[in-house]
A = this chain, B = another copy of it.
Amino acid sequence: MRTTLRRLTAAKTVEALGALAHEHRLVLFRLLVQRGEEGLSAGVLAERLAVPPSSLTFHLQQLTHAGLIGQRRDGRHIIYAADYEAMGALVGYLTENCCGDGTPPKGAKCC
């Protein structure tokens, strides 16, 4: 039973794009994606990115608010993990709306 995989609104898409549109956050998200469900703690992420804890929190919040990552507590650690479904929805929006699906003359497609 899949959790609702509904289409993204334009506003939500802008939010997700903006969340990924930052050097630190793109790295952050890629780390979490390759890590999988297990996730990584805030501390480990801060160390990998070499940014102070408060800065990291700021970026994690952007990604969280955009729905691209989730968090859970494990003792005194807080573990973040990528939300694959949200990322799928974003890519879906881009391929459907921004890659020439409708009536692109000459059948030009980019992906």
- Which residues of A are interface residues toward B (Cβ below 8 A)? 10-11, 13-14, 17-18, 20-23, 26-27, 29-30, 33-34, 36-38, 82, 84-88, 90-92, 94-95, 97-100, 102-106, 108-111
Contacts and interface: CB of A to CB of B under 8 A. Distances in A.
A98 B87 contact: yes
Contacts of A85: 110
Contact of A21 (B17, B92, B106): B17
B10 A108 contact: no
A64 to B, nearest CB: 16
A14 B10 contact: no
30 contacts: A10-B23, A13-B26, A14-B26, A17-B26, A18-B18, A18-B21, A20-B98, A29-B98, A30-B98, A33-B97, A33-B98, A33-B100, A33-B104, A34-B102, A34-B104, A36-B103, A36-B104, A36-B105, A36-B106, A36-B108, A37-B108, A84-B100, A85-B110, A87-B99, A88-B99, A88-B111, A90-B94, A91-B94, A91-B110, A94-B94
